[in-house]
């Protein structure tokens, strides 16, 4: 069978599905449910092969890492300016706004610098989609179901030349801290009590380089 020209991935616009000529389709979204099922299976698959909680997290991170590398290419390519971020703060803004918007349809809720450690930054999301429907059982303790997202962040940063260790943490939301109405979940689902904090710890050489550029 001959390969249909419009079905060849190299002949299509980036990120468009194979469709016969003349058919246009909304390629931008699937239902959150569909994503949740696939992600749930991804977690179950890795859980079956991981011996410990930290190994499960590491496996999810490495699954996200590859995705992050690809996402960086896509988002950078589509960006209006077509430029490469070289500074620490601008790459962090790039991640928490551009990358976040393209993956989750909104910016991250906040980007903070750690007070204690100069090399640590925090990206906060009140409703990360990876844990929308997840209740972590007690015997899995501190497991963060958002480890996959931290892997994506690490992939994006690493691909851009900012190697960093990124970890996901669940943090209790303080009373009145997040006043926005919940957007992500089905109506009738309770407001989330925990937010995801993605802790980004850059490698020393990245900080050194940034300090040099500062001058």
Partner 1 sequence: MATSKCSQAGQQLWAKMPKVGGYTRLCFAWSVIGFLVHTNSSYRITHQANAELFALTYGSLVTELVRDHEDPIEVNKQLDKIGKSIGVRCVDEFLAKADVAGLGLASQCQSLRDTAEVVARMGFRMFLGVGAECGAFSQDQKSFSIYFHDNPLSTFVELPPAGDDQMGDDLRKLKYSNIYCGIIRGALEQVNLKVDVTLVQCTLKGDEVNEIRVELKEVLADGAGDDYKEE
Partner 2 sequence: MGFLHLFIVNKSGGLILHRSLGPRAPSIGTNDWLRIGSTFHSLHAIAAEASPVRLPKNKNPSGADDGIQQIEGSGVTLKCLQTRTGIKFVLTAEPGTTDIDTALREIYVLYADCALKDPFYELEMPIRCELFTSAVDNLIERLEQSKMSAVR
| Span interacting with partner 1, options 30-38, 86-94, 110-118, 197-205, rule CB under 8 A | 30-38
In the list 47, 163, 184, 203, the residue contacting partner 1 (rule: CB under 8 A) is: 184
Residue 169, helix vs strand vs coil: strand
Contact partner, 74, from partner 2, partner 1, none, Cβ < 5-8 Å per class = partner 1
Site string for partner 2, 116-135 (x = CB under 8 A): ----------------xxxx
Judge whether 71 and 152 are in contact, CB under 8 Å. Answer: yes
Asked if 142 interacts with partner 2 (CB under 8 A), we say no
**Residue 68 near residue 62, CB atoms below 8 Å:** no
Residue 146, C-beta contacts closer than 8 angstroms, at least 6 positions apart: 125, 128, 130, 131, 168, 170, 196, 198
Residue 203 binds which of partner 1, partner 2, none (CB < 5-8 A, kind-dependent): none
**To 10 degrees, what angle do helices 32-49 and 53-78 make?**
140
Out of 105, 110, 161, 201, point to the residue binding partner 1 (CB under 8 A).
Answer: 105
From candidates 4, 44, 54, 110, binder to partner 2 by CB under 8 A:
44
Contact assessment for residue 210 and residue 88, using Cβ atoms and an 8 Å cutoff? yes
Residue among 145, 113, 107 nearest 125 (CA) = 107
Interacting residue ranges for partner 2, rule: CB under 8 A: 33, 36-37, 39-41, 43-44, 47, 132-137, 140, 145, 185-186, 188-190
């Amino acid at each position: 069978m001959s390969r249909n020209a419009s079905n060849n991935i190299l002949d299509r616009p980036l990120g468009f599905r194979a469709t016969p000529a003349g058919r246009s389709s909304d390629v931008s979204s699937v239902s959150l449910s569909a994503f949740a099922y696939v992600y749930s299976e991804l977690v179950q698959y890795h859980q079956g092969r991981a011996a410990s909680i930290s190994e499960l997290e590491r496996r999810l991170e490495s699954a996200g890492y590859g995705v992050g590398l690809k996402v960086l290419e896509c988002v950078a390519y589509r960006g209006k300016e077509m430029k490469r971020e070289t500074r620490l703060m601008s790459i962090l803004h790039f991640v928490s706004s551009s990358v976040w918007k393209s993956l989750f349809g909104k910016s991250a809720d906040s980007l903070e610098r750690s007070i204690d450690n100069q090399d640590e930054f925090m990206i906060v999301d009140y409703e990360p989609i990876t844990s929308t429907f997840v209740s972590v059982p007690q015997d899995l303790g501190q497991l963060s179901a958002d480890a996959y997202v931290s892997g994506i962040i690490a992939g994006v940063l690493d691909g851009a030349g900012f190697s960093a260790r990124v970890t996901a943490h669940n943090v209790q939301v303080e009373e009145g801290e997040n006043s926005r109405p919940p957007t992500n979940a089905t109506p009738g689902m309770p407001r989330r009590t925990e937010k995801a904090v993605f802790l980004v710890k850059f490698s020393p050489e990245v900080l050194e380089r940034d300090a040099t550029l500062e001058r």
